Structure formats: structure tokens, C-alpha cells
Structure 1
Amino acid sequence: MTLLMLIQIDAQRRPKYNDGPYIGSNDTSARIMWIQEGEKHDTVVSIAENFLFKKKGLPQVDIGDLDFEPDEFRRYENVSKFIAISDIHGQHDLFQVLMKAHNVIDEEENWIYGDGHLVIVGDVFDRGDKVTETLWALFKLEKQAKAAGGKVHLLLGNHEFMILHGDIRYINPKYRFTTGSFGIEYPKLYDQHTVMGRWLRSKNISTVINGIGFVHGGYSQELLNKESSLKVLNNTFKEQVIYSEDLDESNDDLLSMLYFDNGPLWFRGYANPVGFDLEQAKVILDILGLKRIVVGHTSMPRIVPVHNGRVILIDSSIKFGKTGEVLVYEMDSLYRGMINGHKTSLDTNDKDRSPFKYVHDFKDKELTIILDTDIEELIKNKEEEKYQKSKLTAIHDNEFNRSWDVRIRARGNMRKKVCHLPPLKIDFPKKTLNYLGFTNHDKLKIVLPCNSGDEYQQGLYKEYVVYQLYKAIDSFGFNTRLVNFILADKAKKRYNLTGFIIEDDKDYSLRTNAILVKDGIVNDQAFERESYIKMHFFQYMIINNDYAIYNKHNLEIIFPEGAKKPRAIPYDFDYAGIVDQDYAVPPSILPIDNVRQPFFRGKDITTEEIVTTS
């Protein structure tokens, strides 16, 4: 193979993307590195030239204006308006949408917020692929805001700290390509010889505006027992912790507390409805001389006020790149700022924000649910559908999120009898859901493989695909989502499985605005005809005969909003021939020997109707 061929192959493999600029500077010159359309560039320019870095697809940077003023901790008073956002995590496009929607920036990302303050409550870094874009945008906005009488507060989060200290576990693959191209470690792009590295190290970990404190994680009681001055905590972190290389071996109690889990960048206690209460919140606020504390760090379905509004959790899951919110302060009132620019009262609950909907809406992200319970007891009592205690831990994208004390039990009329591992129902405490900003839809339905073993796992995958296929032909089909499950107990029994969650009646009704018919008998001829034909024909195509109209067996009868006739929506497809579970048998009333034999049950449907409907 010739050298030219190798070069051509390498060029084909190289991803076409943009990144940068990464700028190192001294008093006279600046070294600029960037990637454009997958090609690396590295040049040195004189600062005296007032060079404007302007490349297609990359942030524009004025090389002659790279100076900045280090942030000093202070308490700001009489601020007329502010907007706070946290945990952007490389989702620059979504950040732009929110900033434009709430009139912070214009279409060119220029400051139009006047004397208002913008607070970034940590975690610009990691996960997403547009970290650099957000950083340079904030660098520019900081200068523009100051000129207009406003202020940009970029507070450090744990992910900024991780990058500055060499922990790159969560960087987007794009940045691994960049470091590979330049032959440099990622943290070196933000070291003290770079503009962005020096700028980040000049940032605070906290600020106070109109008596409201902002910090990424929070202040633990343990930390405040050691030091209660926000200024001292902030300055100690900036001057010692951020520059230290060996905090693991530090003998200084305060430095250790600032660095580890109970430190202000890592503390998650405020988001724990069991381990933290209103009285603790009051004590901490009194110590710090604050009215409220605003924190990020722990993903929520939306901005959530807790402890009578004394603590506000503003990590609204922007990191998933789907949607998000900002905290808005104006006219002495606080609001949730929505992605469309609308504002709603801070204490308004979303009527449809249930645990199922939250998980389902982020279905492109890996989710693992660990259920720590007595597995032997669960299996022994499965036919009684008896609730038992369990600890549920949810892990998003291989990073710990949070745990709850819940109850679980078996469900499923037939599967709980024939399956070693029955489907499950999880019951969340309503108090916990309210605390986290969810509705009172406190149940989550889970379908697991019937037993351990590849054949059962494959059967579950097939059933999940059937649900997806039906949704493709009828939007009124049930929503489902694949989830990794780990069942574990103290006896060291452990099952690693993939199952799926499925909408319960409340979630389904809220999503579709349909009325579910639970009582009475619906005649075949009463149904909306087209959907009725599609349902029967779909069941025939997947070779499923385990359903019945007259007793609503494995069918949900619904009246869509404004509809004059009902629809029949199928579910539970484990007896379908396409799934082919070993326990599945056909109804005894049908003239077939096994579930793999097709039989069309829409006896009142004509061939002409099928052709017309298709």
C-alpha cells in the first residue's frame, strides 16, 4: 500500500468537525489552535496586530482584547433583574435558545439584557460537544454586560474542577479527536498558560444577589461548622483548592471539606427529601445570612423549589439536549423561564411531569435502575401482589443520579404465575415526588424477561419492538422505554437484565387526553372503524390471538378527546407468535395448535375494508 493511499484513508476516517479556538498568550503574542472541517491549524500572531480570529463554524475572538478582570466575591444588592441557569454541559444550542427566548442575547449572541445579571451556576464542561462555544460566548458576554452596567457570573462547578485537575472521564468524544490531533492532553488546553485556563481559574464558586446565594452543589452543615464565611470559603477555594495538586493527602480539614463530597461543588444534600429538611435549610440560611440558596448539580425534571422555596434546584436536565428552563427574577418575583420564552410561577407543578414521562422523554440516554430488595421474598409472594420495601437507584449515562426508598410488588395476571421474574410495579412516596417537582403519579410499571437466559431476553426485546411498531401505525399506542435493570439483595443474588417501562393509565390519559373506558361492554360495531381494522390486522401480522373485545382482555378501550366512537388499543404481546415465549399457548376456543399459527380474529372485517384501510 502506497503512502498516498494511507494518507487518503486517514483523511476519510478523520471526522469533519470544528473545535476551538484554544489560545495561549503572553504580553506580545498569541498561539491559536483550532480544528476546522476536521483539519488542525496552529499559528502564532502578534497581539499588537489586534487580530480578529474569525473562521466559519467557530467562535469569533478578538485577539487584541483577551484581558479580563478576576472576579471578587461580593454581595450584590438592588439588582433589578437576573437570570440563572446551570449544568449546560456542552449543549450550547439549547443555551442559545434559552438566552434568546428570555432576551439576554440577540441573534448574533450579543448582550441585550442591560443592567441585568446572568448567573451560570456551574458545569459548562463535559458530555456535550459544544463546550468551547459556550465558554467563548460567556467570555464575550462578560465584557459586553459590564459595558452595559450588567454582570455575567460564571461560577465553577464540579466538572470545571475535574477538567482543571485532569479528570476527563466525561468529555465528549469530539475532544478526544482534538487532543489526538494536536498530541496534547485535554487539561493542557485549559492550563495556566492559556487564556481560557487563566480566566476559569479567576472565577468564583459562589455569589449573592439580593440576598439569594448561588453555588453549584450547596453548603453542608459539616462544612459550615468549620467555616461559615462565604467570602472565606470562596477565596480559600480560589487561592488554594483550585491550584492544589495533592488534596487527597491534605492535612487541612477545611481544604479537604472544600474538595470532597460535602464541599460546595459536590454536595447533593438539598436534593435529598429524606436526609435534609426545612429546619436544616433554615439553620444554613441563618448561618450564611441568606434568604434563599440556588443550586444546580442534581438533574431535575424542571426547576424545583424545596423547603418552602428556601432552596431552589435549577438543574433542569439541559445536559440531555432536549429542553430546559432558566430561573428568572424580575419585579421582586421569581419565575421558571420556559424554552419558549414564557414565564410561570416558581411553585407551579407540571400536571403531566411523572417519573415515567421524565424517563421516557430522555430515552436516547442510557438509564440503569438498581432495585435493592429481598429477591427471594419478591418471588415467593409474587402471586399475592404484596408490596415490599426496596431501594431504587437511578443511574443516567453511567453517572450516579439519586436513590429513593420505594415499595415494589409483582403484577401481571398470567406472567406472575408462569414467570420466575414477574413484571413489577414500583410505588414512589408521594412526598418524595412532590419534593422533586413531579406529579402524584406515584406508580411505575416494569416488564422484565420471564427468567434469566438469552432466550427470555430476546423474547422481551421482541415484545418491546412490537410496542414500537404499533406506535408507528397509531399514535394512541402505549409509550415504552428500554431500561437496564439490576435486581440485587443482601444475600448477593443478582440479576442483570434489560426490561422496559410502560405507561400506566394516568400517564396515558394525560398524554393522549383520552378517556379510558373501564366498565361495560363495547360492541364490535361501535368502534371507530379504521383504527378497529388496523388493530385486528396488526394482531394478525404479529400472530397474536391473546386479546378479546368483549372483556377488554389485553385491550384498552379509549375515547379520544372529541371523538364520537371508541378505539381499542392493544398491549401485552408476550403470547404473540412473533415473540414466541415458551409458555405461550393459544386460546382454547380457536382452531389452532400453537401461537405461531396465524388466525384472523376480525371476522366482521371484509377484504375490501382491509385494502381501503391499508
Structure 2
Amino acid sequence: MHTGPTAHEGGDVARVGEGDAVPVEERPVRRGHRRGSVEALAMKRHAEAEAEARSARHHEHDAADLAANAARPARTCRLVALGDVHGDLGYMRKALEAAGIVNAHGGWTGGCATLVQLGDVVDRGPNSLDCLRELEKLKAQAAEDGGRVVTLLGNHELINIVGLNAAYVHPLELERLGGQDAWLQQFAPHGPFWKRFLSSPTAVNISGVVFVHGGISPQYAAMGLERINDLVTRSIQRQRFEEGVLGEFGPLWNREVILTASRGDCRLVQESLVRLHARRMVVGHTAQPDGKIHEFCDGKMVAIDTGLSRSMFGHPSALEVLPDGTLKPIYPTAAALGAPPSDGNPSG
């Protein structure tokens, strides 16, 4: 128990009287006032004892609270990926609802989860702009709940940013907007979606998993993701669309890495992953005709474009990467979909 000032609490101490200690700057007790001083010191020590007892009780309560918190399960933050959407708002919601990321009305229910959408939100289906708006809404809702939505660029976003034509746009969407020129203005500089695309990365590495729309060849992997993202953003910003990073072998269009891996040749993906300091690459872009998520090269390469849109194959899906690295494909049930899938053009 604390019995008075110590050297650390009151400076150097000097001995006075019969063993009482006071700081050197305090005056010694006069002989005529000794009794009152002893009584005051006793009261002081009693007050200190009471304070120390209260402190001990507080520490006991704190320890109990810590023990209770330790007994509660830690909040697990999930990692979910969504492939090409291609203008199908209804099936995008179905895939995310099956994954526990949204409710039936499209509201965020993912908590602290991270959702990565791999690009090609637009074209083919009739609700491209609605899909873009919904993902922006989910970004805000997720942030309020401690979660995150990451939207990557796809080659179809690039096609519209370039503004060459609207060949892949659904006729109903063109009609609603008033024609091709009105459509292309949505993606032009100072259009409503221009800043969104400038702020969207091309690729991200989350817990050793690289997410990208097309694929990253060893040539681009050597640059690193930060450099790749910077090159793509600056090329779009300057409208220099002829640059190689936006071309056939760049990360938005590349199919070589996934196609060689699907044939059992793992050299490209392995070399890219080594250079990217990652263990796995997850891609969209190359649609899987059977509507299933596929992994190749012992899980180093994963293809998650299952043709979600009913303007493609109509097979919605999502992928969860569990904390131990296990892959969990997610498919809405036929009952949840409520209608048979429709066929479409599988080229991407």
C-alpha cells in the first residue's frame, strides 16, 4: 500500500522527526504543531488507501471486461468477388444476395466485407447505367458499415471511354437515353461516369490475391500493380488510347494468361505471381460456357466470368475467398432466379 510521497512522486526526500519523510522543498514540522501534523498525515494516508482500493476495484472490472471481450468471437471480414455483369441489374443483385452481400432490394448487408467487382459492368444488357449507379450506392453503404466495394476497370468500360461507337450497347438503353451520342457523353470527360472510371483501379492485391479483369502477363507484372494502375489512369486521363497498357496484351484485354493456364501450361501465371508477390490471380473477361467458376494450376489462376448477364449465358455467380485461402463458388438457386437462363453472345 502507498504510504506517502516517494522520490519519483515528490523529488528527493529528507528524513524528519521519527521516520516521517517529506520532500526537501517542504518545511519541517515545528515542535509545537507536531500532533496536528501527525493527524493530518494519518488522514492523508487513509484517503490514499481508499483511492487505492477504488483503483483496484476499477482494475478488476476492466479485467472482467477484457476477458468478456476476448471470449466473444472476432468479427470476420469476408472477401467476395463478382465477375462481369454486362448490364443485368437483376442477376447482379441475385448473385450478391446469394453471397450475403446485399438484400433482395439491393441494400448492403455485407458488414465489414470487401467486395471486388472485376469490371465489364456495362454493355450487352439493358441496365448498364443502373448497374453502375447501384455499385456506387453500395460503395457508400459499405463504407458506413465498415466494409468496402472495389470496382475495377474492364475492357468494355474502356470501349465506352474511348467513345468510338456504341456497338455493344443494348438498344433499349440507347433508346432511353436518346441515341448513341447521348450514350457516349455519359463516359466522356466531364460526363457523369468519367471521374468514377478515373478513380477505378485496374488491378488490386488483397491478401495475396490479385484481382484483374483480363490478366497480367509477366511483362506487365514486372512493373508492379501501382505502376500498372498509374499507367492506365494517366493514359485515360490524357486520352492516349493507343498506348500498349490499354491494348490487346494489357491487363484489360489479356486472355493469354488464362488460356494457357486452362490448357495446363502454368508458366505465365506462375511467373506473373512471383513478380507480383502474390499466390493467386482471379480474372473475369473470359466467359466460362458451362456457367461455373474454374480454377487452374492448383488454384493459382481462377476464372470467375460465368456469363452472369441474360444477354450472355444467364449464369450469375460470385466467389468468396475464405481466410485460409479456400475458394467458395456461390451460385443462386434456380428457385431464387425464378426464370430459366437465356443464351447470348459468349464473346467478351
TM-score using structure 2 length: 0.70
Counterpart of 1:234, as a letter, is N
Describe the shift of the 1:220–1:111 C-alpha distance in structure 2 as closer, same or farther (beyond 3 A): same
Alignment check: 8 A CA contact 1:278 1:308 kept: no
Describe the shift of the 1:161–1:338 C-alpha distance in structure 2 as closer, same or farther (beyond 3 A): same
Q: Which of 255, 261, 268 is the aligned partner of 1:268?
A: 255
> What's the offset of the Cα at 1:214?
0.3
Alignment check: 8 A CA contact 2:116 2:151 kept: yes
Cα distance in 2 between the residues matched to 1:211 and 1:217: 18
> What's the offset of the Cα at 1:194?
3.1
> What's the offset of the Cα at 1:340?
2.6
Alignment check: 8 A CA contact 1:110 1:141 kept: yes
- Whether 1:89 aligns to 2:86 is yes
Greater relative contact order (Cα < 8 A, sep 6+): 2
Q: Which of 365, 376, 384 is the aligned partner of 2:344?
A: 365
Gaps of 5+ in 1: 1-77, 249-255, 342-360, 367-395, 402-614
> What's the offset of the Cα at 1:364?
4.0
> What's the offset of the Cα at 1:196?
2.5
Q: Radius of gyration: which is bigger?
A: 2
> What's the offset of the Cα at 1:317?
1.2
- Whether 1:218 aligns to 2:206 is no
Counterpart of 2:85, as a letter, is I
Residue number in structure 2 paired with 1:229: 224
Counterpart of 1:283, as a letter, is E
Residue number in structure 2 paired with 1:338: 331
Percent identical: 26
- The runs of 4+ residues in structure 1 deviating greater than 6 Å are none
Secondary structure, counterpart of 1:97 in structure 2: helix
TM-score using structure 1 length: 0.40
Secondary structure, counterpart of 2:219 in structure 1: helix
Residue number in structure 2 paired with 1:308: 298
1:249-268 to 2 correspondences below 5 Å = 256-268=243-255
- Whether 1:176 aligns to 2:174 is yes
Describe the shift of the 1:179–1:136 C-alpha distance in structure 2 as closer, same or farther (beyond 3 A): closer
Residue number in structure 1 paired with 2:206: 209
1:133-532 to 2 correspondences below 5 Å = 133-167=130-164, 168-180=166-178, 184-224=181-221, 227-238=222-233, 240-248=234-242, 256-273=243-260, 277-300=265-288, 301=290, 302-319=292-309, 320=312, 322-332=314-324, 333-340=326-333, 364-365=343-344, 396=346, 399=347
> What's the offset of the Cα at 1:179?
4.0
Secondary structure, counterpart of 1:190 in structure 2: coil
How many aligned positions are there? 263
* Larger relative helix fraction: 2
Cα distance in 2 between the residues matched to 1:157 and 1:92: 17
Cα distance in 2 between the residues matched to 1:237 and 1:264: 9
Once superposed, what is the RMSD of the aligned Cα atoms? 2.5
Describe the shift of the 1:314–1:287 C-alpha distance in structure 2 as closer, same or farther (beyond 3 A): same
Describe the shift of the 1:246–1:279 C-alpha distance in structure 2 as closer, same or farther (beyond 3 A): closer
Counterpart of 1:178, as a letter, is R
Secondary structure, counterpart of 1:161 in structure 2: helix
> What's the offset of the Cα at 1:363?
7.0
Per-residue CA deviation, residues 268-293 of structure 1 (Å, 9 max, x unaligned), is 01332487722332211111100101
Gaps of 5+ in 2: 1-74, 335-339
Alignment check: 8 A CA contact 1:218 1:265 kept: yes
Per-residue CA deviation, residues 508-543 of structure 1 (Å, 9 max, x unaligned), is xxxxxxxxxxxxxxxxxxxxxxxxxxxxxxxxxxxx
> What's the offset of the Cα at 1:134?
1.1
Cα distance in 2 between the residues matched to 1:243 and 1:276: 38
* Larger relative strand fraction: 1
Secondary structure, counterpart of 1:195 in structure 2: coil
> What's the offset of the Cα at 1:79?
7.6
Secondary structure, counterpart of 1:318 in structure 2: coil
Residue number in structure 2 paired with 1:9: none
Describe the shift of the 1:364–1:145 C-alpha distance in structure 2 as closer, same or farther (beyond 3 A): closer
